[in-house]
Each structure stands twice: as C-alpha cells, then as structure tokens.
Structure 1
Amino acid sequence: MTGQAPVRLPAAARRAGILDAAELEFARHGLAGGRLDAIAERAGISHPRVVQMFGSKKKLFLEVVDIAYGKIETAFERAEPTLTALGDAYVKLLRRESTVGLVVLQGYAAAADDDVRQAVRRRHLDLMKSIARLTGADPAQVRTFFATGLVQTVSSALDLPERRADTAWSGWILQLVDPAG
C-alpha cells in the first residue's frame, strides 16, 4: 500500500469521464452489447456508481446519443449557412471524432426500443429543422442532405478506401441541391 488516499474528482469531471467512456463503449458495441462494467472500468469508477449517476444503461446510452447529436448541431451552427458548408463541417467532425457517427448509427440500430426510437426521432427531426433554419433549404433539400450525410457516416464507420470518392460524390450532390453553396 502506498498510503495515499484515492483522488476524488469533482462530480462534473467524474460525469464527463463516464460519458467519454460510455461514448467509446456504445460506439463499439451499441446499446445491447455495451457493458456498464466496461464503462465503469474505463472511467476508473465502480459499476454501482455509474448506475447511481445515470440510473440505467439505456438512460446512459440515450445521453450519449443526445451528446453526439449535439456535437453535430454545434458543427452546423459554426459553419457557413449553406448545405455544402454544413456537409463539410460534418465530414470534418466524423474525421475528428469517429465515435460520433458510430453512436448515431447505434442509435438507429437500437430504434426497436420505443424509448430509443422516440429520442432518436426527436433529435433527428430537430436536426432537420436546424438545417432548414440555418440554410433556408426546402424539405427535399434537407432530405437529400441527410441521405448524403448517411453515405458519409457509413463510409467513415467502415473506413472505406473510397471514402474520398464518397466525399466528392457528396459534394457534387450537395451542389445540385444547393447551387449557392
């Protein structure tokens, strides 16, 4: 024994550490395969403490999904208000934080659960409204933007060697729906 007491982190730092660990776990394994004990171990705390702070694995998963959508929204808010610029911001986000796209995909995959479906649907629709508000895009343009973004998300998740071609294709599609971009 070293005789040193364990370092106590402030609650906000402990919570952030759990969320970071949960993001990685859920990105890799989804809601069904993600394990709270693995999250706790990665965060350096006990499994019961994770449950005490978040209530359940599903509640923690939903918070991680919400954070991923928040990161996307923030990237869009910081971009120039064109579909092309938002698309570029999204691709940069996926490259910088690969777990974001994986968490979004895991949210879709877990949508058979009513609570997850409701939460993901709400964030998805809110993001669509934000895109329309930011860019002035009509509903067809927003749907095209989302379809293009899904190609980018899957390409990034699979680390496809043609990813750069997908980026060029996505840019071409966005230019068709947003000539001003």
Structure 2
Amino acid sequence: MSGTAPVRMPAAARRAVILEAAATEFARNGLAGGRLEVIAEQAGVSHPRIVQLFGSKKKLFLEVVDVTFDKIEAVFERAEPTLTALGDAYVKLLRREPSTGLVMLQGFAAAADAEVQVAVRRRHLDLMKAIARLTGADALQVRTFFATGLIQTVSTALELSERRADTAWSAWILQLVAPAGQDD
C-alpha cells in the first residue's frame, strides 16, 4: 500500500479533470483510438469510475465535443461582435488550447457514426446561428467565416500558423464579406 491517500475532490472538479484528460486523449486519437484507460490514468481515477460517470466512451467523447463547442461560443460571446474580431478570438483560443481545434476535427472525422453526426451537426449549426446573431452576418458571410475558420483550425493543427499568411488571408476574406456598416 502506498503512503499517499487518494485526493478527494468535489464531483464537479473530478468531472472537469476527467473531461480535460479526455479532451487531450480524444484530440490525439479520436473516438475510435481514444482509450478510457489512458484518460483514467491521466485523471487519477479508475476506468470503471469513468464508465459510471459518463456511461460509455462515445458519451464521454460527445461531452468533450460539447465542452469544446461551448468554449468556442464563449470566446465569441466575449469578443467584439464583428466577424474579424470573432476570427481573431478563435485563433487565439486555438493557439492557447490546441486540443480545441483537434477535438473539433475529431468530431467531424467521427461523423460516420450516426449518433456523433447528429450531435456534431447540431453543435455546428448552433454555432453558425450564434455567429449570425452576434454579428448580423448573412448566410454567405457565416459560411465564409466557417470556411476561413476551418483553414485556421487545420493550419494550427499542422503548426503552419507561423509559416503561412493564413491569418492575414482570413482577415482579408472576412473584411470582404463584412456586413454593411462594419469597419473591421
């Protein structure tokens, strides 16, 4: 028996630790390759405890996807309500928390699973509506915002951000489609 007792933490804090460990594991390995054993070890809990809390690996994955989309939406809510400012806030989030973009990409990659597809599609569409609500952007502007966001996500995931002018290009594209009366 080891000399240290397990650390007791409130359920909400333990859940947050598990979700953070799961985000790291799923960002690296996706739904199919992510391992609950690795998540449990990183979070300092047992594998059965994760199953008890989340039900299954897929449900944990979907919760991580939800947390990721929540983070993105929260960053957008705090930003100045222009497409360029939201884009800048998103890039800063990707650089600060690289697993954010990777989890989003893994959510899209796992969309061959019908349950994952429904959940990710719902969150994606909700985020599109939030962009329109926050900025007044029309459908074309929102699609353009998401297209440039995907380029930023991939560039960040591949660590191309400092080697390419994607950020400047994205800002230029977003300025082209900015709603009338917005000076970005």
TM-score by length of 1: 0.96
Is the deviation greater in 163-172 or in 111-120?
163-172
Which blocks of at least 5 consecutive residues in structure 1 are unaligned? none
Which deviations, in whole Å up to 9, do the C-alpha atoms of 1:147-176 show, x marking residues without a partner? Answer: 000000000000016555110110110111
Could you say what secondary structure the match of 2:6 adopts? coil
- Secondary structure of 1:110's counterpart equals helix
Contact 2:161–2:167 (CA under 8 A) maintained in structure 1: no
Are the structure 2 counterparts of residues 70 and 163 from structure 1 closer, same or farther at C-alpha, using a change threshold of 3 Å? farther
What residue identity is the alignment partner of 1:85?
A
What TM-score, normalized by structure 2, do the two folds share?
0.95
Q: Deviations over 1:9-63 (max 9, x none)?
A: 2111111110010000000000000000000011011100000000000000000
SS at match of 2:111: coil
Structure 1 pair 110–161 and aligned structure 2 pair: CA distance change class (3 A): same
Partner of 2:183: 180
Change (3 A) 1:126 1:161: closer
Q: Note the aligned Cα RMSD (angstroms).
A: 1.3
Contact in 2 for aligned 1:25/1:34 (Cα 8 Å): yes
The offset of 1:5, in angstroms, is: 3.3
Question: Is 2:21–2:39's contact at 8 Å kept on the other side of the alignment?
Answer: yes
TM-superposed deviation, 1:7: 2.2
Aligned to 2:171: 171
Distance, in Å, in 1 between the alignment partners of 2:63 and 2:163 is: 29
**Equivalent runs, 1:8-27 vs 2, <5 Å:** 8-27=8-27
Residue type of the alignment partner of 2:159 = D
Alignment of 1:1-150 (within 5 A): 1=1, 4-150=4-150
Q: What is the total number of aligned residue pairs between the two structures? A: 181
Letter of the structure 1 residue corresponding to residue 183 of structure 2: A
Q: Which amino acid aligns with 1:39?
A: I
1:98-139 CA-to-partner distances (Å, cap 9, x unmatched) read: 000000000000000011000000000000000000000000
Q: Do the aligned residues in 1 keep the contact of 2:91 with 2:152 (CA within 8 Å)?
A: yes
Residues 145, 174 of structure 1: 8 Å contact kept: yes
- What percentage of aligned pairs have identical amino acids? 77
Structure 2 spans left out of the alignment, 5+ residues: none
